[in-house]
Chains A and B, each alone.
Chain A
Amino acid sequence: MINIQDLQKEYNKITVLDIPSLTIQQGESIGLVGNNGAGKSTLLSLILDIIQANTGTVYSKNVAVNETEAWKFYTGSFLNESFLIPYLTPYEYLSFVASLHKITNEKRDAFFAENEAFFEIDPKAKTLIRELSAGNRNKIGILGALLPNPELLILDEPFSFLDPTSQSWLKETLKKFHQKGMTMLISSHDLAHITEISDRMVLLEKGKVLEDKPKTEETLSELETYFTVRVNRE
């Protein structure tokens, strides 16, 4: 699905990401962990072609992402608020996304009904996205990414700003979508949640892949040890 080669990104001559090679297979669910500044968001942004790599290429379905726009049609993503259109209401925004993927109104409304527990979409509501709380904006972004039922889903810290109920809802929903075959690349600081929904963990440190292995029984405790030991070291 995604194939990364010799990817390097520098800011002010400091290398913030350096990945010689990384491959994501169709149907995999990858959890991306690492401390602030480890390069998680940079990696996701490079895959979505919103920043330019200094060297190397990201291939999506064997085509370089910076050479076509084809990937936009099978990739659902939400990294941060700048992915939302602030002057639309949630209903309008999601309808807009639906129209881009030629989803019928019936299917769209069914999607709204299914996910009512997460965020209730009221067609008549007049609150614009820019007037919503950070948590609710986050929910809209996640719904927007999921709505077209994309082959590839890319989320950056989806659990942040969410209340506990919504967090567990999101966890179950992502698991459900993954079981149906959706490929996922999700970053998170919440080790318990991300370990639960992923079947492969990638740990970044200072822009490099420190560890990349399938999830096992021990993964969570290993990760917890890694992050606490770091604290003690510093």
Chain B
Amino acid sequence: MKILLHHLFKQRVRSVFWKKSIASSILISIFSLYFLVAFGMMGTFAHKIIADTFPNKSVLEMFTRFVFSYYLVDFVLRFKFQTITSFDLQHYLFLPFSKKKLFHFPLITSLFSYFNILAFVILIPYFFIAVVKENSPLQSLVWFSYIYGGIGIVNFLSLAVKFIFTKKGLVGILLFAFVLTLLTLENRGVLSLSSGFYSLVHFAMLHPWMIVFPWVLLIIVYRLTYQLFLKNRYDEALFSKKSKAKRLISFQFLEKYGNLGHLIMLELKFMLRNKKTRTMLYSSAFFIFYGLFFYGDFDITKFKLIFAGVFICSSFVMNIGQIALSGYSSHFDGLMTLAIPVKTLFRVKYIIYASAMVLAYLLSTPYYFLDARIPLLNLAILIYALGIFPYLFFYVANFKYQPFDITQNKRFDMSGFNIRNFIPLIPVLLIPFCIHGICFLLGNVLFTYYILAGLGILGIATNSYWLGVITRKFHEQKYKLAEGFRSS
């Protein structure tokens, strides 16, 4: 264990990450620190804030219930962002290490992840400021066991789900939807699981022997995660390539449409036959549920509606658009020499991106039942997105020289995740924000939607012009791209 820790330390310190992107690592450190401080403050003042906001209720009850909702959100966030020590265990398998120890290592180190530290920072001040004062030491200990044990359970549960998710994309999406539904129900007061959780904790505080439950549950969840981890490792190392029965969708019907049909076919296969792109596809489908966060209290003048609309309609572009060219890095030379004019390549990409956005929009139309105006508002945003977003992402793609491996879906791998990825997002959100602000000052916020749709129509009408601009830039940049992609 000690040796592994030592190696891990070395790996981190010697990592190219530090050399490559000092700017982004500084930025990330600042953000991390900011959240730590913010959460610490929250923990310190939680007692007072809750007492002020809900004067009639028990502070401990409200805090405990808040923690439960925090679990749910935390679960989703961890699922998306938590990284496990992706320390390559393969190198150690043949060395005289106990295999069991080896596989326990990444799980145990996951306990010291940033998420758990955040939770710790918020809980500890509250625990000493509020809980210890009002309860007996034993009761406090019971409370702490439940709350912090819960964090541990969320920690391993999210890892377990993550292991399952990379196998079956749909399960993950359904889980997301499930958590979102729970949160919505909680918010609307239809079904309050959090008060159930509080009742349990409260009951346990009165019967201190129940302190064992969270720990037993934690051990069970840990075992489960461990088993899944063990099973998957084995699976990937030994059987991934050979024994799988393959289903290849070949979209042969598109052959009828000649040249263009073949190119569209190629793009579809690109997305469906590579692990990484497939995961991107699934996760962009998830964003259709994004509206649930925002359509809670429907106020047509709020900017957040535009924000939600943008994510619903264009999450596909925001995901796959990030690798518009770098996704081709393994066969870029081929595409450069085959008889495909570059502009045609971009045109086909545009068609795919546009279809995906329209599809996402159509899938989001059931929001009609939350408020009948939503589909209409989103239609304006869709038109805006169609006329602006693909161009932006294509243009920025011309400057991304790093190769991107689409065949690997290393769990918790953030390679190719680059601060540059956010550049197109700035205008994507900033332009509507500014227009919204101006319209707000002029007194008619709804006018924003007309302007956005107008911009979109302009963008769609001048499609050929923009693709031309992008193609010219491509020809300037292609040698740099090709060189970058070769040096993997």
Residues of A within 8 A of B (CB): 48-52, 69, 72-73, 75, 77, 79-80, 82-89, 92, 95-97, 99-102, 126, 128, 130-131, 148
- Interface positions, chain B 443-488, Cβ under 8 Å from A, are 479, 482-483, 486
**How far apart sit A51 and B334, CA to CA, in the bound complex (Å)?**
13
**How far apart sit A185 and B358, CA to CA, in the bound complex (Å)?**
47
- Contacts A100-B340, A131-B241; A83 near B331 (Cβ below 8 A): yes
Residues of B within 8 A of A (CB): 241, 246, 248, 250, 255, 258-259, 261-262, 265-266, 269-270, 273-274, 330-334, 336-342, 407, 479, 482-483, 486
**How far apart sit A92 and B266, CA to CA, in the bound complex (Å)?**
9
Most interface-central of A49, A101, A102, A131 (chain B CB within 10 A): A49
Contacts of B483 in A (CB 8 A): 51
Pick from A52, A83, A96: contact of B266, CB under 8 Å: A96
Minimum Cβ distance to chain A for residue B235 (Å): 18
Pick from A82, A87, A97, A130: contact of B269, CB under 8 Å: A87
Q: Is A86 a contact partner of B330 (Cβ separation < 8 A)?
A: yes
Q: Is A83 a contact partner of B262 (Cβ separation < 8 A)?
A: no
Contacts of B246 in A (CB 8 A): 126
Most interface-central of B337, B342, B407 (chain A CB within 10 A): B337
**How far apart sit A97 and B331, CA to CA, in the bound complex (Å)?**
14
Q: Is A88 a contact partner of B269 (Cβ separation < 8 A)?
A: yes
Q: Is A48 a contact partner of B250 (Cβ separation < 8 A)?
A: no
In the complex, residue of chain B having the shortest beta-carbon distance to the beta carbon of A97: B338
6 contacts between A and B (CB under 8 A): A50-B482, A69-B342, A75-B337, A96-B262, A96-B266, A100-B340
**How far apart sit A199 and B341, CA to CA, in the bound complex (Å)?**
33
Q: Is A52 a contact partner of B262 (Cβ separation < 8 A)?
A: no
Q: Is B338 a contact partner of A84 (Cβ separation < 8 A)?
A: no
Q: Is B486 a contact partner of A102 (Cβ separation < 8 A)?
A: no
Minimum Cβ distance to chain B for residue A103 (Å): 11
- Contacts A82-B333, A82-B334; A100 near B273 (Cβ below 8 A): no
Pick from B265, B334, B342: contact of A83, CB under 8 Å: B334
Contacts of B274 in A (CB 8 A): 87
Q: Is B336 a contact partner of A92 (Cβ separation < 8 A)?
A: no
Q: Is A100 a contact partner of B262 (Cβ separation < 8 A)?
A: yes
- Contacts A50-B482, A51-B482; A87 near B337 (Cβ below 8 A): no
Q: Is A82 a contact partner of B340 (Cβ separation < 8 A)?
A: no
Most interface-central of B262, B330, B336, B338 (chain A CB within 10 A): B338
- Contacts A82-B331, A128-B273; A100 near B248 (Cβ below 8 A): no
With A85-B334, A87-B269, A88-B269 given, can you name 7 additional A-B contacts, CB distance below 8 Å? A49-B337, A50-B336, A51-B479, A72-B338, A83-B333, A84-B331, A99-B261
Q: Is A130 a contact partner of B338 (Cβ separation < 8 A)?
A: no
**How far apart sit A95 and B265, CA to CA, in the bound complex (Å)?**
11
Q: Which 8 A-B pairs have the closest CB atoms?
A: A52-B479, A99-B262, A83-B334, A87-B273, A82-B333, A100-B339, A72-B339, A73-B339
Contacts of A102 in B (CB 8 A): 258-259
In the complex, residue of chain B having the shortest beta-carbon distance to the beta carbon of A88: B269
**How far apart sit A177 and B265, CA to CA, in the bound complex (Å)?**
31
- Contacts A82-B331, A97-B338, A102-B258; A89 near B479 (Cβ below 8 A): no
Most interface-central of A49, A88, A89, A99 (chain B CB within 10 A): A99
Q: Is A92 a contact partner of B486 (Cβ separation < 8 A)?
A: no
Minimum Cβ distance to chain B for residue A180 (Å): 20
In the complex, residue of chain B having the shortest beta-carbon distance to the beta carbon of A145: B337
Minimum Cβ distance to chain B for residue A98 (Å): 9
Contacts of B486 in A (CB 8 A): 82
**How far apart sit A86 and B270, CA to CA, in the bound complex (Å)?**
9
In the complex, residue of chain B having the shortest beta-carbon distance to the beta carbon of A79: B333
Contacts of B330 in A (CB 8 A): 82, 86
Contacts of A72 in B (CB 8 A): 337-341
Minimum Cβ distance to chain A for residue B41 (Å): 50
**How far apart sit A87 and B333, CA to CA, in the bound complex (Å)?**
15
In the complex, residue of chain A having the shortest beta-carbon distance to the beta carbon of B488: A82
Q: Is B341 a contact partner of A69 (Cβ separation < 8 A)?
A: yes
**How far apart sit A124 and B332, CA to CA, in the bound complex (Å)?**
27
**How far apart sit A75 and B336, CA to CA, in the bound complex (Å)?**
12
**How far apart sit A80 and B273, CA to CA, in the bound complex (Å)?**
22
Contacts of B255 in A (CB 8 A): 95, 99
Minimum Cβ distance to chain A for residue B43 (Å): 49
